[in-house]
Structure 1
Amino acid sequence: MTTPDEAKRARAARRRHKHERQAVVFGVLIAFLAVSGLAAAAIYTGAIDPPFARDFTAKESTDDKVTPQPCLPADTLPVPYSSITIRVLNGTDRAGLASSAADDLAARGFVIESTGNSTSYTGVQIAFGSAGLASAYTLAAHLPEARFIYDDREDASLDLYLGKSFTAIADIDAVNLDPTVAMASIEGCTVIESLTPTPRATTAPPAAPSAPVEEAPAG
């Protein structure tokens, strides 16, 4: 028969065993959290690489690639619109966007070489070669959001890429160009002699799967 003292000792032993198990469990949890915190801090600071691939981050788009923007030489005047030849390319899912923009530019005196489709992206870009820098700035006055792409073409022609953010050519009254006044370089630009041109696309970039077929080239 169990005596009261034996029962008391048994209860004390059970409590002690329970406390020991709790101490082990909490000790393991605290150690795990400490190790996890140190690992997270090391990954955040770049001390170690994360143990997972980073492919799930947002897919890089054409507009994610920020390229240096070229400066104009001093005293560069606007180029007459009739001397600027443009290929207009649609980078959206809006049918006929390039043709519509081309018609607006043609009405202002620009020469439209052709219209077509481009890969899908967001912004507005003007591609040009070293001979077309002044022409690119002149066209950009009608497209305030445009960014420049400097390529290795040898002529002064331009490629105008219209992305999803494009709505319309700027109102003619908002175009601040005076044929007798030198144009200003954009803020933070780089002298073009220090830039390396990218290879020019000889044809329009492959159309995105959702890109519409453009109408016939604008006249």
Structure 2
Amino acid sequence: MSMLTPSGMGGKYRVTGNSYPRMRPPRRRGRFVAALIAAVVVLGLFSWGALQLFHVFSGDSKDAKANAAPSHPSCSPAAAPVATGKPIALPKPTQVTMNVLNATTRGGLAKSTADQLAGRGFKVSKFGNAPDEYNAKITQSALIISGPAGEAAAREAGTQMVGSAVKIDPKRKGATVDVLIGNAFAKLATPTQAAEARVVAANPPAPKPTCSPKN
């Protein structure tokens, strides 16, 4: 036995010549590499999370820009087939010429209503059935249609029917109005109801603007 061989040790720990045994286990390089990769992954995730938080708080997120409400909407007046928004001097019934048209399925309604309106001073040019495009499609008591020149006359005619509506056709010429009797019509307004309606008709509401965001 060599003098360098510890007592009781033999076999592979026997020292011969100028060599001597290793007394510590070999390094485990696999664990070191795995730990290094894990550290890199954790550091990468941390950096990505920090970057996302930066975008959120700085307002650079694409989703935030897409969902942000426009700060300066562009508004344009809505088409106003029923009102101009300006006070109107209503004419007297004797200054209003109208056509009385029945848009319901009740027979004889145009003539009887025309006679009553004529009795209140209105000038009835003609009476009869409404065009097919309006037949049985008017839910109000009446729809009064005129051109821009006949708006005041149309509003005066509308005071005679509670719940009626006025439509201004910009392409229509002249001041004659069409009174289309609708499904909700029962009878003409009382003098008191007509007087109250005249105040409202002389001061129509302004049309509501329609707004669309700027691109």
Query: Could you state the TM-score of these two structures normalised by the residue count of structure 2?
Result: 0.51
Aligned counterpart for 2:195 among listed residues 170, 176, 182: 176
Q: How does 1:104-143 map to 2 (within 5 A)?
A: 104-118=116-130, 119-121=135-137, 122-123=139-140, 124-143=142-161
5 Å matches for 1:48-197?
A: 68-74=81-87, 76-118=88-130, 119-121=135-137, 122-123=139-140, 124-151=142-169, 152-176=171-195, 183-185=202-204, 187=205, 189=207
Larger radius of gyration: 2
CA distance in 2, matches of 1:170, 1:181: 14
Could you list the per-position Cα deviations for residues 3-53 of structure 1 after superposition, in whole angstroms to 9, with x for gaps in the alignment?
Answer: xxxxxxxxxxxxxxxxxxxxxxxxxxxxxxxxxxxxxxxxxxxxxxxxxxx
Equivalent residues of 1:87, 1:112 under 8 A apart: yes
Alpha-carbon distance change, 189 to 86 in structure 1, aligned in 2, over 3 angstroms: same
Residue correspondences, number = 124
Cα distance, 1:189–1:141 mapped onto 2, change above 3 Å: farther
Deviates more, 1:154-163 or 1:144-153: 144-153
Q: Which runs of 5+ in 2 are unaligned?
A: 1-79, 210-215
**What's the CA shift for 1:164?**
1.1
Identity %: 29
Assess, with a 3 A threshold, how the Cα gap between structure 1 residues 68 and 91 changes in structure 2: closer, same or farther: same
Deviations 1:43-65 (A, max 9, x none): xxxxxxxxxxxxxxxxxxxxxxx
For structure 1, list consecutive stretches of 5 or more residues without a partner in the other structure: 1-66, 192-219
Distance 1:180 1:189, change over 3 A: closer
Change (3 A) 1:138 1:107: same
Alpha-carbon contact 2:144-2:179 (below 8 Å) kept: yes
Pairwise CA RMSD: 2.9
Aligned-residue offset at 1:173: 2.6
8 Å contact kept, 1:77–1:182:
no
Give 1:95's aligned amino acid.
Answer: G
CA apart distance, 1:189: 3.5
Aligned-residue offset at 1:72:
4.9
Q: 1:97 to 1:178 in 2, by over 3 A?
A: closer
TM superposition shift of 1:137: 1.1
* Preserved contact between residue 101 and residue 127 of structure 2 (Cα < 8 Å): yes
* Residues 180/94 of structure 1: CA separation in 2 closer, same or farther (3 Å cut): closer
CA distance in 1, matches of 2:99, 2:153: 13
SS of the aligned residue for 2:195 comes to coil
TM superposition outliers: structure 1 runs of 4+ over 6 Å: 177-182
